[in-house]
Amino acid sequence: MSDDNDRLDLHVHTTFSDGDMTPQEVVREAKRLGLAGVAITDHDEVAGVDAAMEAAGSGFEVVPGVELSTSDGKSDIHILGYLIDTKSEELRKCLDLFRDARRTRGIRMVERLQKMGVDIEVGAVLDRAGGGSVGRPHIAATLVENGAVDSVEAAFKKYIGFHSPAYVAKYQLKPSDAFRLIRETGGVGGMAHPGSTRRDDLITDFIAEGMRAIEVYHPKHSQGDIARYRRLAEKLGLVVTGGSDSHGIRNAKLHIGAHTVPGSTVELLKKARSY
Ligand SMILES: [Zn+2]
Ligand SMILES: [Zn+2]
């Protein structure tokens, strides 16, 4: 069990989403930095958790996690799920569905472009995504490479930006669905980096929908944000979480361990689960 001298980074991405370190590399690096544990929180994916747990061995805690992309129709809202059962069939099925929906969305945009007479192949876009989720940046980069436009900005403006002719809307989970899914798979849901979304107006509703934690420590948060969300967490009885949101070594500012929380946080999350 962890104590408060132990520090954990509860927000780390791996190669299973858009990070550039494998789960094994994340564990190795976190140990080297003297951390007591990490939460693996890949975007809409949990497969990296098992790999990290295997690599961790004893004396290092890997908290199973996920970062779900949701939208309330106005803002993109990221929701962190901790202590989820990563073996849950329901969870895996749901995550597969999102990935398929995203993949299909990319293909549909390419088909629209082809109908417009633009030179672009589905295979080239899928290759660029490297087996991961197909996003508009992959399509834009392919359009630039093919000479259909001069720049990524032009690709968005002319073809795939919101309101542009080849745009296809994204399938998005609602925050309430994310909180339910996390709860049903034994986990605790929390709002990720609320300071970047600035939708504090939603917090009361989120608590009614099952939110029990809030990310207070995050590289995008100012000292003011940290103080505000700490107060809010205390007032509303939410578990304070935090982490580096590291995506690997590309961005030194977001390095593993840049933001941490005490070991007791995991115990608080475990308690919050039984509400
Ligand atoms: Zn996020
Ligand atoms: Zn993240």
Give tens-digit pLDDT for 198-255.
Answer: 999 999 999 999 999 999 999 999 999 999 999 999 999 999 999 999 998 776 667 8
pLDDT for 43 beyond 70: yes
- How remote is the CA of residue 245 from the centroid of ligand 2, in Å? 5
192, 247: one domain: yes
165 CA distance to ligand 2 middle (Å): 31
Query: Exposed, middle or buried: residue 84 (CB in 10 Å: 0-12, 13-18, 19+)?
Result: buried
Residues 80 and 99 in one domain: no
Distance 140 CA to ligand 2 centre (A): 23
Ligand 1 centroid distance, CA of 239 (Å): 18
Judge whether 245 lies within some domain: yes
The count of domains in the chain is: 2
Residue 189 CA to ligand 1 centre (angstroms)? 14
167 within a domain of the structure (yes/no): no
Mean pLDDT of the chain: 92
Centre of ligand 1 to C-alpha 116, Å, is 34
Q: How far is CA 228 from each of CA 159, 191, 203, rounded to the nearest angstrom?
A: 41, 14, 13
Kindly give the distance from the C-alpha atom of residue 219 to the centroid of ligand 1, in angstroms, as a whole number: 11
250 Cα: distance to centroid of ligand 1 (angstroms)? 17
Distances (CA, A) of 199 to 41, 76, 202, 222: 21, 10, 6, 16
Q: 144, 160, 176 — which closes off a domain?
A: 160
Rg (CA), the chain: 19
Q: How far is the CA of 144 from the centre of ligand 1 (A)?
A: 27
Of 113, 145, 160, which marks where a domain is finished? Answer: 160
Which token pair is 164? 């542009």
Domain identity same for 61 and 30: yes
177 domain-assigned: no
Amino acid (1-letter code) at residue 178: A
Q: Is residue 2 over pLDDT 90?
A: no
Digit-coded pLDDT (tens) for 153-210: 999 999 999 889 999 988 889 999 999 999 999 999 999 999 999 999 999 999 999 9
Identify the CATH number of the domain in which residue 77 sits.
3.20.20.140
On whether residue 28 sits in a domain, the answer given is yes
| Residue 165 belongs to some domain of the structure | no
Q: In the predicted model, what is the mean pLDDT of residues 148-152?
A: 96
User: Are residue 201 and residue 151 in the same domain, yes or no?
Assistant: no
Percentage of the chain beyond pLDDT 70 is 96
For residues 46 and 99, state if they share a domain. no
Rounded CA separation 35/15 (Å): 20
Specify the pTM.
0.83
CATH number at residue 154: 1.10.150
Both 259 and 197 in one domain: the answer is: yes
Same structural domain for residues 45 and 101? no
The verdict on residue 168 lying in a domain is no
In a domain, 166, yes or no: no
Q: Within this chain, do residues 189 and 77 fall inside the same structural domain, yes or no?
A: yes
Residues 6+ apart with CB under 8 A from 54: none
Partner residues linked to 80 by β-bridges: 67, 190
204 and 264 in a single domain? The answer is yes
- How far does residue 255's CA lie from ligand 1's centre (Å)? 15
Cα dihedral 176, 178, 184, 187 sign: negative
Residues measured by CB to lie within 5 Å of ligand 1, the ion: 78, 192
Range of the domain at 42: 7-86+185-273
Which of 127, 160, 193 represents a domain boundary (last residue)?
160
